[in-house]
Amino acid sequence: MVEIYYEDECFESRTFEVKEVSGAVFDNCTFKKCDLSEMKLFGTRFVDCSFVDCNLAMITLNEVQLANAEFDNCKILGVDFSLCSTFLFSVKFNKSVVDYSLLKGLKISGTSFIDCSLKYTDFADADLSKSQFIRSNLEGAMFENTNLREVDFTTAYGYSIDLDRNVMKKARFSLQGVMGLLGKYDIRIE
């Protein structure tokens, strides 16, 4: 199979007519204001790529490699990142809506989620150690058997995390966020 290779290209304000892509390689490419919603990607590689103001809602990422991929002000609804290739998997999210997505089982230590909406996103069995949730909404986000060592939740909000079902050593929280850790105990803090 011959791979389609793109390097140092900028794709701007494009709606991709092709809804299935297999085996393409994007190296150091930028996608600006592109609509990739509902695309089906198979074995595609994105290395050092940026997505800015893009719609990636319901995109399928079967064995897709995301190596140092950045998402800035993107709509990423209902995306199953757990289908991605784990080889060199590295992502950053800034001002993006990542609601109803799955990051379960992924090793994404040190990942930044800045000013993001992560409502009902599933982080079960993931390694999020040393990650940052800066000013991010975690309402309904699922943490189960998740490695949360040294994670910064100090400005995150809306979360409910079971201390007994996750690894929490040296995780950081604000005083206002304590109820998100104690909710299952049905206690009142006044």
State residue 18's pLDDT score: 78
If asked whether residues 123 and 188 sit together in one domain, one would say yes
The pLDDT-based confidence of 190 (bands split at 50, 70, 90) is low
If asked whether residues 119 and 156 sit together in one domain, one would say yes
Q: What is the pLDDT of residues 20-55, one digit of tens each?
A: 999 999 999 999 999 999 999 999 999 999 999 999
If asked whether residues 87 and 107 sit together in one domain, one would say no
Q: Which residues of 125-164 are buried (b: 16+ CB within 10 A; e: fewer)?
A: ebbbbbbbbeebbbeebbbeebbbbbbbbbbbeebbbeee
If asked whether residues 64 and 118 sit together in one domain, one would say no
Q: Is the pLDDT of residue 1 over 60?
A: no
pTM of the shown model: 0.92
Note whether residue 4 is domain-resident.
Answer: no
State residue 189's pLDDT score: 66
If asked whether residues 112 and 85 sit together in one domain, one would say no
If asked whether residues 85 and 127 sit together in one domain, one would say no
161 neighbors 140 (Cβ within 8 angstroms)? no
If asked whether residues 108 and 186 sit together in one domain, one would say yes
Q: What is the pLDDT of residues 75-111, one digit of tens each?
A: 999 999 999 999 999 999 999 999 999 999 999 999 9
What total number of domains does the chain contain? 2
% of the chain beyond a pLDDT of 90? 85
Name the more confident of 17 and 53: 53
Average pLDDT over residues 137-149: 98
If asked whether residues 158 and 86 sit together in one domain, one would say no
If asked whether residues 155 and 184 sit together in one domain, one would say yes
Query: In which domain, by residue range, is 64 found?
Result: 20-68+80-91
Note whether residue 110 is domain-resident.
Answer: yes
If asked whether residues 37 and 107 sit together in one domain, one would say no
Q: Is the pLDDT of residue 187 over 70?
A: no
